[in-house]
């Protein structure tokens, strides 16, 4: 049986991501790599991470969207003050734009009375990455597992669930899921799931859920889960 390697919530930590792929002995010829979203924001090299993610997809990796990619897409498509500032000021988008070579003054936008003008940032690489993000899937499902960024609504079939739920849900899924298929997800740092701020290890819930977001960008660790063995490796 082919091994499945799962990684989530890289958040611009390119070096950790590269080191983890090496540590996991990932081979595109032998393994199925599934990436669960949140490649960008807060960390130092989001642009570099997306470059690598695109290369991995070309070599066969399955790449899902996270809420941070969705926030980035909305910031550029909605062109509103709320979407722009929510992403750049609250969710780490400023660090993402800095990784494309923009300066802080270029990122802020302009307020003219009651109107806000979103910056018109020119970058071929940024345009390429935005186009890539728009075509990412929200989840994949096989015989035994569902892979998704945040989780699923325990009361709705996954194929009928809204994208926003799949990339944002937390407690309702963590506490309410009772399905037979195992859900592997990121989004919520495992220290929260373990209820221990120092425990960043993969979380194996008793209700067939496996959380793998080790909070690397917050000083935790970048986790890798291998299936079907359920073996784990990580970069602190």
List, for residues 142-178, the tens digit of each pLDDT value.
999 999 999 999 999 999 999 999 999 999 999 999 9
pLDDT grade, residue 1 (50/70/90)?
low
Average pLDDT of span 23-33: 96
Q: How confident is the model over 46-56, as a mean pLDDT?
A: 98
CA–CA separation, 115 vs 56, rounded Å?
41
Decide if pLDDT at 50 tops 90: yes
pLDDT at position 70 is 98
Mean per-residue pLDDT over the chain, rounded:
96
**What is the reported pLDDT for 2?**
84
pLDDT tens-place string over residues 70-114: 999 999 999 999 999 999 999 999 999 999 999 999 998 887 667
Asked if 158 and 181 touch (Cβ cutoff 8 Å), the reply is no
Q: Which structure tokens are listed for 153? A: 């609504």
C-alpha distance across the termini of the chain, in Å = 29
Beta-strand (E) ranges in the chain? 3-7, 31-35, 62-63, 110-112, 115-117, 139-141, 145-148, 182-185, 203-204, 209-211, 222-227, 231-235
Please name which of 12, 16, 51 lies closest in space to residue 129, comparing C-alpha atoms: 51
| The predicted structure's pLDDT at residue 109 | 83
List C-alpha distances in Å: 193 to 202, 221, 232: 9, 15, 17
pLDDT tens column, 123-138: 999 999 999 999 999 9
Give me the residues paired with residue 226 across strands: 5, 231
Q: Which domains does the chain have, with CATH numbers?
A: 3-65+133-235 (3.60.21.10), 69-122 (no CATH)
Q: What is the pLDDT of residue 182?
A: 98
């Amino acid at each position: 049986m082919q091994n499945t390697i799962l990684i989530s919530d890289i958040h611009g930590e390119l070096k950790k991501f590269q080191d983890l792929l090496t540590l996991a002995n990932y081979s595109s010829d032998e393994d199925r790599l599934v990436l669960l979203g949140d490649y960008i924001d807060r960390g130092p090299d989001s642009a570099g991470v997306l470059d690598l993610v695109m290369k991995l997809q070309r070599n066969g990796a399955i790449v899902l969207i996270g809420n941070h990619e969705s926030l980035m897409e909305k910031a550029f498509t909605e062109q509103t003050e709320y979407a722009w500032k929510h992403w750049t000021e609250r969710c780490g988008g400023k660090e993402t734009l800095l990784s494309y070579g923009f300066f802080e003054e270029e990122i802020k936008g302009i307020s003219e009375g009651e109107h806000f003008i979103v910056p018109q940032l020119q970058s071929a690489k940024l345009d390429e990455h935005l186009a890539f993000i728009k075509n990412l899937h929200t989840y994949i499902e096989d015989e035994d597992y569902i892979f998704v960024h945040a989780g699923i609504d325990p009361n709705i079939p996954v194929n009928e669930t809204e994208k926003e739920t799949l990339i944002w849900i937390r407690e309702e899924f963590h506490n309410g899921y009772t399905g037979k298929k195992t859900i592997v997800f990121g989004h919520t740092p495992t220290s929260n799931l373990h209820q221990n701020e120092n425990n960043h290890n993969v979380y194996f819930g008793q209700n067939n859920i496996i959380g793998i977001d080790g909070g690397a960008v917050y000083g935790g660790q970048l986790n890798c889960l291998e299936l079907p063995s359920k073996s784990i490796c990580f970069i602190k």
